[in-house]
Structure 1
Amino acid sequence: MPGVRATIQPDWLSRDVVDLEALTRWGNRQGLPGTVSEVTRIGGGTQNVVLRLRWDDRDLVLRRPPEHPRPGSDRTLLREIRVLSALAGTDVPHPAFVAGCTDTDVLGVVFYLMEAVDGDNPGEGLGELYQRDAGARHRAALDTATAIARLAAVDHTAIGLEDLGRPEGFLERQVPRWLDHLASYDAVPEYRGTRLPHVDELADWLRAHLPEQSRPGLVHGDYHLNNVLLDPATPRVAAVVDWEMCTVGDPLLDLGWLLVTWPDGHGEETMTGGPFAELGGLPERDELVEAYARGSDRDLSAVEWYTVLAGFKLAIVIEGTYARSLAGQAPPEVGLRLHRSAVARLEYAATLAR
């Protein structure tokens, strides 16, 4: 086996996060020759730990649960492994899966490797093409809708994901599920009592206007500008990332999620794609719907309903961080920022419902 002289860990990389010697030994057994010579952390690491590695002559990305894993962290990574493996050969832009490890004796957690994608994250910063060319920004932004239409068109049964979720009754379950989730925050004494506007009003509206469910398909589950990488040379989506929420359900919820998180420059709390939005030139929401429609045969007549549902669900999800921040379990500035974003999502959803 090749030596491990190049796997000396950077000062910031705890052996508890990734034991590079153990990783190298495992990788060699998987047919990855050589050693790791460079390690760069991607993102802040508050959720999953994501590391970019130079493995011999390849640029790879390792993804593992957070440094202090949650009870379902390994199951989440197993889901990502399954989804990325199944997407190989489809026209959905995604990082190519390389190898996954379900043996927790190697690093203490489930983890996997994927090919690094050369791309710009609209939520973190943009390269020269998008800095200088408003037309490129506009075309790439439209492709975010086209990319998710491609995912919705995938035959999930044909690629072995027929049991990934429970599509029957998917839409009917949403409102009661997320109301229960919001009520669970009352277990935090400092939060007790709903602090979000329009919740009951929107729940009633969603129940009263429930559309016929679109045919089942793959749902990314957290689709927004910060979860795509844009090709630095051609205005298009190079890869969709963060597949941990992927399920089988009604794919139009992904379109609603993109719309309700879209930065439109009209004074809303910007939640995703900040650097992208600051440069200007992004399409309006109706242009995104038109781009999706060009790549899909689904009925989009109820798109506003899906957008309201996405805002309702997203607001409740991120309000959980605010509740934890009041109990000292998350940074207060992060909790307050997400609370403001949750309120903005609900305010926007309420305007659609009216």
Structure 2
Amino acid sequence: MIDVERLANWLDQSGLPGKGEPIEHRYVSGGAQNEIYEIRRGDLHCALRIPPPTAPAARDEGILREWRIIEALNGTDVPHTEAVAVCTDPAVLGRTFYLMEFVDGWSPMGVRGWAAPFDTDLSARAGLGYRLAEGIALLSKVDWRAKGLHDLGRPDGFHERQVDRWTRYLDRVKGRELPGFDEASAWLRAHKPLDYVPGLMHGDYQFANVMFRHGAPARLAAIVDWEMGTVGDPKLDLAWMLRGWPEDTSTPEAATALYVDLTGMPARTELIRHYASVSGRQVDDMDYYDVLAQWKLAIVLEQGFQRAGDNEKLRAFGPMVLDLMRSAAELAETTGYGVAAP
């Protein structure tokens, strides 16, 4: 729980609305990395994001990183939570935290699927997919240098580092062999994208990390959860979003392809085309990004599986990892994409 009295004093000193008025607050969500509270005080209505007391000290740096990104997005056309204020003084609430706009919307994770009317109206549901692709297309156009994010990541050599970086990551958690890893890794080392235009990327872009406005037509309210945000290659966000997305969403398989029902959604190629139209980026090399995204996700999920213990949710990652790595290797073997790395 947060110390409301200390928070009130800090709000007063920060010159935010509602000085002297009582604070209404409620716990919204959270986990091992972050907690979110809804805060109301006079005209102030926002969300407070803070690491729990048990989170590693590095999470305070992560909170500041997230803050820098959402603050940089203020004034852009990227749907996001407006940045309100940040506090780095542990004497206030014990950890670094920030305040952001409280978004009136819904999350596919919060409603475990689609909110009305998207749960039954397939023609309206298609718009959710287009808006999802549009969100990262707009993000890719942000002038990150002008926004002071030149030191957020290391864009130079982004693709040259991927295999070595994530192989070291896997070596730290490795508990079994992953068939297809060597083949996909070798292919990634031997190939490169057609071009590389650095840009701001989310790092874990999917339906789970966005919010939509209530009602139709579909409108993206905010991209959320910027823990993996960096300056890198935005087209990797697109490939990450499209993992497992079928070309034909009218088949029964579309209902179970992801953690949400994709029936009625635009085809994969339609979303790629829409992304290209909004972002202005070429997309003829998506096979490269598809291999990289599936290979990388397999490694990320393998860490969860190796640390699963009795956690059934994490143990379920086991076969998913094998499928992803096998799929990455098979795509690498069959794709006609052939731009050789230097």
TM-score normalised by length of structure 2: 0.88
Identify if the C-alpha distance between structure 1 residues 120 and 259 changes in structure 2 by more than 3 Å, giving closer, same or farther: same
The 5 A counterparts of 1:173-322 are: 173-186=161-174, 192-194=175-177, 196-233=178-215, 234-260=217-243, 262=245, 266=253, 271-272=258-259, 274=260, 276-277=261-262, 280-322=263-305
Secondary structure of the 1:222 match is coil
2:134 to 140, 143, 146: 146
Count of residue pairs brought into register by the alignment: 323
CA–CA distance in structure 1, aligned partners of residues 33 and 323 of structure 2:
23
Q: By how many angstroms is 1:162 displaced?
A: 1.5
Q: By how many angstroms is 1:213 displaced?
A: 4.2
Letter in structure 2 aligned against 1:65? P
CA–CA distance in structure 1, aligned partners of residues 294 and 44 of structure 2:
40
CA–CA distance in structure 2, aligned partners of residues 58 and 324 of structure 1:
41
Which stretch of the first structure deviates more once superposed, 142-151 or 61-70? 61-70
1:107 maps to 93
Deviations 1:291-320 (A, max 9, x none): 101102212111111121111111211211
Q: By how many angstroms is 1:39 displaced?
A: 0.5
CA–CA distance in structure 2, aligned partners of residues 337 and 254 of structure 1:
24
Counterpart contact for 1:260–1:345, Cα < 8 Å: no
Counterpart contact for 1:142–1:291, Cα < 8 Å: yes
Q: By how many angstroms is 1:348 displaced?
A: 3.4
Q: By how many angstroms is 1:343 displaced?
A: 2.9
Deviations 1:251-301 (A, max 9, x none): 1111111111547663897554x2x44xx2122221210110110221211
Letter in structure 1 aligned against 2:277? R
Gaps spanning 5+ residues in structure 2: where? Answer: 335-342
2:306 maps to 323
The answer as to 2:160 corresponding to 1:172 is: yes
CA–CA distance in structure 2, aligned partners of residues 123 and 343 of structure 1:
25
Q: By how many angstroms is 1:342 displaced?
A: 2.5
2:23 maps to 36
1:158 maps to 146
CA–CA distance in structure 2, aligned partners of residues 344 and 121 of structure 1:
27
Letter in structure 1 aligned against 2:39? L
1:337 maps to 316
Counterpart contact for 2:53–2:94, Cα < 8 Å: no
The answer as to 2:19 corresponding to 1:19 is: no
Q: By how many angstroms is 1:140 displaced?
A: 1.7
Secondary structure of the 1:52 match is strand
Secondary structure of the 2:287 match is helix
Identify if the C-alpha distance between structure 1 residues 143 and 348 changes in structure 2 by more than 3 Å, giving closer, same or farther: farther
The answer as to 2:67 corresponding to 1:78 is: no
CA–CA distance in structure 2, aligned partners of residues 347 and 119 of structure 1:
37
The 5 A counterparts of 1:120-135 are: 120-125=106-111, 126-135=114-123
CA–CA distance in structure 1, aligned partners of residues 280 and 219 of structure 2:
21
Gaps spanning 5+ residues in structure 1: where? Answer: 1-13, 187-191
CA–CA distance in structure 1, aligned partners of residues 169 and 4 of structure 2:
38
Secondary structure of the 2:279 match is coil
Which stretch of the first structure deviates more once superposed, 206-215 or 311-320? 206-215
CA–CA distance in structure 1, aligned partners of residues 38 and 326 of structure 2:
38
Identify if the C-alpha distance between structure 1 residues 193 and 343 changes in structure 2 by more than 3 Å, giving closer, same or farther: closer
Q: By how many angstroms is 1:123 displaced?
A: 2.6
Deviations 1:104-150 (A, max 9, x none): 22111111111111222123323222223212210121111111011
Identity, % of aligned positions: 42
CA–CA distance in structure 2, aligned partners of residues 267 and 91 of structure 1:
31
Secondary structure of the 2:164 match is helix
Which stretch of the first structure deviates more once superposed, 62-71 or 311-320? 62-71
Q: By how many angstroms is 1:239 displaced?
A: 0.6
User: Following TM superposition, where does structure 1 have runs of at least 4 consecutive aligned residues deviating by more than 6 angstroms?
Assistant: none
CA–CA distance in structure 1, aligned partners of residues 45 and 331 of structure 2:
44
The answer as to 2:38 corresponding to 1:52 is: yes
Q: By how many angstroms is 1:55 displaced?
A: 2.9
Deviations 1:36-91 (A, max 9, x none): 2131322x524311222333344311111244112420110010111111111111
CA RMSD of aligned residues (A): 2.1
CA–CA distance in structure 2, aligned partners of residues 231 and 131 of structure 1:
14
Identify if the C-alpha distance between structure 1 residues 137 and 267 changes in structure 2 by more than 3 Å, giving closer, same or farther: closer
